[in-house]
Amino acid sequence: MRHIIESLQNLSRNLWWSWDTEAKELFKELSPLIWERVNHNPVELLRHISHDELKARLDCEFGKKLDNVTKRFEAYLSEKDTWASKHVPSLTEKTVAYFSAEFGIHESVRIYSGGLGVLSGDHIKSASDLGLNFVGITLFYKEGYFRQYLNQEGWQLEDYPLQYPESLPLEKVTDADGNDLIISLDIAQSEVLAQAWYLNVGRAKLYLLDTNIPANESHYRDICSRVYGGDQNMRINQEIVLGIGGVKLLRALGIDPAVYHMNEGHSAFLTVELLAKELANGVEPEKAKAHVKEQCVFTTHTPVAAGHDRFSRDMMHYSFDRYLQKNGIAFEDLLRLGSENPSNPHDLFTMTVLALNLSRNANGVSKLHGEVSRKMWRHIYSAESPGDVPIGHITNGIHTASWTSGFTDKFWHRYTDSLDTLTSSQDEALKVLAKVTDEELWCLRYRLKRNLIDFIYRYLSNQLFHQHVYTTYMEADSSKSSKNPLSPDVLTIGFARRFATYKRAPLIFSDIERLTRIINHPTMPLQIIFAGKAHPHDDAGKHYIQQIVEHTRLPQFKGKIIFLENYNLGVAKRMISGVDVWLNNPIRPMEASGTSGQKTVLHGGLNFSVPDGWWPEAYDGQNGWSIGSGEVLDNHEAQNHHDAEKLYDVLENQIIPTFYDRNVDNIPVKWLKKVRKAIATIGPEYNTHRMVRDYTLKYYLKD
Ligand SMILES: *Cc1c(COP(=O)(O)O)cnc(C)c1O
């Protein structure tokens, strides 16, 4: 008994379990009810379940399964024969330090907001799988990102439930004497202290800095309250803690990284701390800059202007005065490093510019985004043409195992030894697919969609109850024998992401009459599931949510178009595995990459997207559908109209007829051909194993 509890506790304290189907099932099996209630958090689960209860649930089978999982876990941790040991042995010795303001590793660890965090989470997991010596650096946000709920009017409200270190697998970083390791920072005229935690993510470690300690003045304790919370002042403070604090932490830990990877500009102040150290060692300023540059790589993530942090001269002066004096750096010298136009005395300090100026490599996150970034930042390099701008690209991917539901994982294991084999190359994927019959593939689709619909029914009942619209919604299905108006026989589209306005969530409602006909077609109907959060300050995004919610309540759409509250990693996993088609309709070329569509592929989902981000690289005419071919119109209204027309055309003339075109056994043979094509072409390419290998060989290794 004690042995079993210890094993479970051990497992719960390394997030490796979050991408292992059997490990997850073990926790769920202990108590499916508590597992749901604690948001799939095994540390909480083990705290809530009593010994007697635990005992009652343990049988021989459970013990055997636990032994199995534990053995695999231990083998994983001690594995010496990894991709990195074969291909980049130097990076199994020296550390890659990866800085990111958010990490989306699992829904129970709420230190992420959206795509950037999910990407960081998937990056660190693949780095662990590949065997790199890898640490992540971020902040511990005690309130995380907000929980979304909607009022009766469909307006987004935000709520910030606390998360406690004791409820998470957080370990405290201590010094040689066992005391809390404390980092000292200069912010404005104060000394601000930060303590550090770490999370075990497989073989990698994720360090989290935390200013919420009694020794700090109260407004500094709050620096790390919320992901991207507060005003500009809070923002700069967060970025000082992340960048400068992160470098100081690594130093205190005795880690001398081979490379610092800045994932987005939020952490770019790390270059300033590296520079200060060089100068303190008496290195000439120009040489010092060159040294810093040699150690850093930078990934930019958005062509949207508001996505790049900019601070006023006054704010920079206020926040950095004491730091600069202590380190003997002139204020004007610092400003120049982050200025787009150094001859303009009022120029804002831009974190992206600082990062570009002080890194040896920079990249965008898709081929198209690389091109856009080269145009966007040409002036920084005084380059003649965009082609001369030294910004490359590495296209984003997903951590396949994390995004493959238990059911789908088991499905593929009937035909191959591992998901890694399935996604190792197009040829391998085709070999595996040759063993799968259309009936089996269709069965998978049907089952996954039914799982999603069951989930939605439970989830929505809760949501509608607190919105006080429960009965009006349920009326829609009073004529049916089943209580659930959604049907697994109906073609299902999913749309879920942050409600940034450029993503145009309501585009499909451009022509209500046409959509009404499509949704309510007597033999070929359609249903749509929406989800997504707007940033708390983004009223335009909140209006989009409200518009969609109002549409879901129209009589002709009731029970056929659904909005799910509080999009997060958990809801995302349900949605991407269940829907037939994943819709993405941003204004091109605003979506730097996007990754959510990649998550649907191994579940047999198909992408339907504007050719933006990763999609133009992946789309081959057969593995999904494109909304237009990248036509650019001169104003937003014309563009929206154009794109909406294309969307309806493809939907009505291609997607819907293909889905409902069945053989005698009621199998959509042509549809499944596309599904196979998508699995073979997208699975092997758009994953973080490929992505991290690219980063390693192109950027982490010094040539
Ligand atoms: C994958 C994911 C994202 C990123 O989606 P995009 O397609 O890049 O917009 C955002 N949020 C969650 C919860 C996700 O799982």
Q: Is residue 618's pLDDT more than 90?
A: yes
The predicted model gives 314-320 an average pLDDT of 97
The predicted model gives 615-619 an average pLDDT of 98
Residues with CB under 6 A from ligand 1: 114-115, 118, 497, 567-569, 572, 594-596
What are the b/e assignments for 49-82, b being 16+ CB within 10 Å?
A: beeeebeeeeeeeeeebbeebbeebeeeeeeeeb
Mean predicted lDDT score pLDDT of the chain: 95
The whole-angstrom separation of Cα 1 and Cα 104 is: 34
Lowest average pLDDT, out of 188-197, 259-268, 461-470, 594-603, goes to: 461-470
The whole-angstrom separation of Cα 315 and Cα 320 is: 8
DSSP alpha helix (H) spans, 435-532: 438-466, 470-475, 512-519
Residue in 498, 535, 584 to alter for ligand 1 test, most ligand atoms within 8 A of Cβ:
498
Q: Give yes or no for a contact between 81 and 13, defined as CB atoms under 8 angstroms apart.
A: no
The whole-angstrom separation of Cα 615 and Cα 493 is: 17
Q: 3-class SS at 457?
A: helix
Q: How many distinct helices (H) and strands (E) make up the chain?
A: 32, 20
The whole-angstrom separation of Cα 311 and Cα 232 is: 7
Q: Give yes or no for a contact between 552 and 495, defined as CB atoms under 8 angstroms apart.
A: no
Q: 3-class SS at 675?
A: helix
Q: Report the alpha-carbon angle 6-9-14, nearest 5.
A: 130
Q: How confident is the model at residue 702 (pLDDT cuts 50, 70, 90)?
A: confident
Q: How confident is the model at residue 431 (pLDDT cuts 50, 70, 90)?
A: very high
| Structure token pair of residue 50 | 């009593």
Q: Report the alpha-carbon angle 24-30-31, nearest 5.
A: 100
Q: How confident is the model at residue 59 (pLDDT cuts 50, 70, 90)?
A: confident
* Residue 697 dihedral angles phi and psi, to the nearest 5°: -75, -35
Non-local (6+) Cβ contacts of 481 within 8 A are none
Q: Is residue 483's pLDDT more than 80?
A: no
Q: Directed axis angle between helix 285-295 and helix 270-280, to 10°? A: 130
Give the residue whose CA is nearest to atom 8 of ligand 1.
594
Q: Report the alpha-carbon angle 697-699-703, nearest 5.
A: 75
Q: pLDDT tens, 206-234? A: 999 999 999 999 989 999 999 998 899 99
- Confidence (pLDDT) at 482: 44
Residue 584 CA: nearest ligand 1 atom is 7
Q: Directed axis angle between helix 688-695 and helix 115-130, to 10°? A: 80
Q: pLDDT tens, 327-350? A: 999 999 999 999 999 888 889 999
CB atoms within 10 A of CB 178: 7
The whole-angstrom separation of Cα 100 and Cα 118 is: 11
Q: Is residue 473's pLDDT more than 70?
A: no
Q: How confident is the model at residue 478 (pLDDT cuts 50, 70, 90)?
A: very low
Residue 398 CA: nearest ligand 1 atom is 1
Strand partners of residue 150: 156
Q: Is residue 129's pLDDT more than 90?
A: yes
Q: pLDDT tens, 492-517? A: 999 999 999 999 999 999 999 999 99
Q: Is residue 53's pLDDT more than 90?
A: no
Q: pLDDT tens, 240-292? A: 999 999 999 999 999 999 999 999 999 999 999 999 999 999 999 999 999 99
Strand partners of residue 96: 134, 259
Non-local (6+) Cβ contacts of 614 within 8 A are 366, 395, 396, 593, 594, 595, 597, 598, 686
CA of 611 to the centre of ligand 1 (A): 17
| Largest pairwise CA distance in the chain | 81
Q: Is 149 exposed, middle or buried (0-12, 13-18, 19+ CB in 10 A)?
A: middle
Non-local (6+) Cβ contacts of 204 within 8 A are 124, 125, 127, 128, 132, 134, 135, 136
* Residue 591 dihedral angles phi and psi, to the nearest 5°: -85, 105
Q: pLDDT tens, 78-94? A: 999 999 999 999 999 99
CA of 612 to the centre of ligand 1 (A): 15
Q: Give yes or no for a contact between 507 and 534, defined as CB atoms under 8 angstroms apart.
A: no
| Structure token pair of residue 410 | 């088991």
Q: Report the alpha-carbon angle 277-279-283, nearest 5.
A: 120
- Confidence (pLDDT) at 484: 64
CA of 457 to the centre of ligand 1 (A): 23
491 membership: H or E segment, kind and range: strand 491-496
Residue 572 CA: nearest ligand 1 atom is 15
Q: Give yes or no for a contact between 136 and 103, defined as CB atoms under 8 angstroms apart.
A: yes
Residue 497 CA: nearest ligand 1 atom is 9
Give the residue whose CA is nearest to atom 3 of ligand 1.
115
- Please indicate whether residue 77 or residue 57 has the higher confidence score (pLDDT): 77
- Confidence (pLDDT) at 470: 56
CA of 106 to the centre of ligand 1 (A): 13
- Confidence (pLDDT) at 301: 97
- Please indicate whether residue 50 or residue 690 has the higher confidence score (pLDDT): 690
Residue in 118, 146, 404 to alter for ligand 1 test, most ligand atoms within 8 A of Cβ:
118
CA of 613 to the centre of ligand 1 (A): 13
Q: Is residue 480's pLDDT more than 70?
A: no
- Confidence (pLDDT) at 472: 52
Q: Give yes or no for a contact between 613 and 637, defined as CB atoms under 8 angstroms apart.
A: no
Q: Is residue 150's pLDDT more than 80?
A: yes
Residue 576 CA: nearest ligand 1 atom is 15
**Which residue has 């689709």 as its token pair?**
445
What are the structural domains, with CATH classification, of the chain? 2-78 (no CATH), 91-142+200-396+693-700 (3.40.50.2000), 400-686 (3.40.50.2000)
